[in-house]
């Protein structure tokens, strides 16, 4: 009977959004511009949720396999992985986010012919 006069213990998510604390571990995000595709993050991931292809310059994470332990963030030598507040939205499909760095080819210089 005491609980009838109290507020609920849980939030009405997603109607009332959650307030994230400063040290909350959440989604893993990558700054692709600084990544060197070394693969250390994939080797340190205990859930084997990260795949790195150095030749293709691609980085992929299986969101539902990731346990947000931050082992990849701590191991990254370039500090290009970040923990962002929030979690992956639940859904019926396994979500794999793949990021591919665009390869820019160097400009070719046409030789100047002497007339």
Read off the pLDDT of residues 14-50 as tens digits, 9 standing for 90 and up: 677 777 777 777 789 999 999 999 999 999 999 999 9
Distance CA 54, CA 96 (A): 18
Average pLDDT, the chain: 83
Q: What is the mean pLDDT of residues 74-85?
A: 92
Pick one of 3.30.70.3270, 3.30.70.2610, 2.60.40.4070, 3.40.440.10 as the CATH number of 25-100.
Answer: 3.30.70.3270
The pTM is what? 0.70
- Report DSSP letters for 83-114, one per residue: EESS-PPP-SS--EEEEEPPPPPPPPPPPPPP
Distance CA 71, CA 43 (A): 10
Give residue limits of the domains in the chain: 25-100
pLDDT of residue 112: 62
């Amino acid at each position: 009977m005491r609980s009838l006069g109290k507020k609920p213990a849980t939030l009405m998510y997603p109607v009332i959004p959650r307030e994230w604390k400063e040290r909350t571990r959440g989604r893993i995000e990558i700054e692709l511009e600084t990544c060197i595709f070394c693969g250390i993050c994939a080797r340190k991931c205990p859930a084997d949720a990260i795949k790195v292809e150095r030749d293709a310059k691609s980085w992929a994470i299986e969101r539902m396999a990731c346990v947000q332990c931050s082992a990849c963030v701590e191991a990254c030598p370039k500090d290009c992985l970040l923990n962002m507040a929030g979690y992956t939205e639940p859904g019926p499909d396994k979500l794999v986010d793949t990021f591919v760095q665009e390869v820019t080819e160097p400009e070719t210089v046409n030789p100047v012919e002497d007339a």
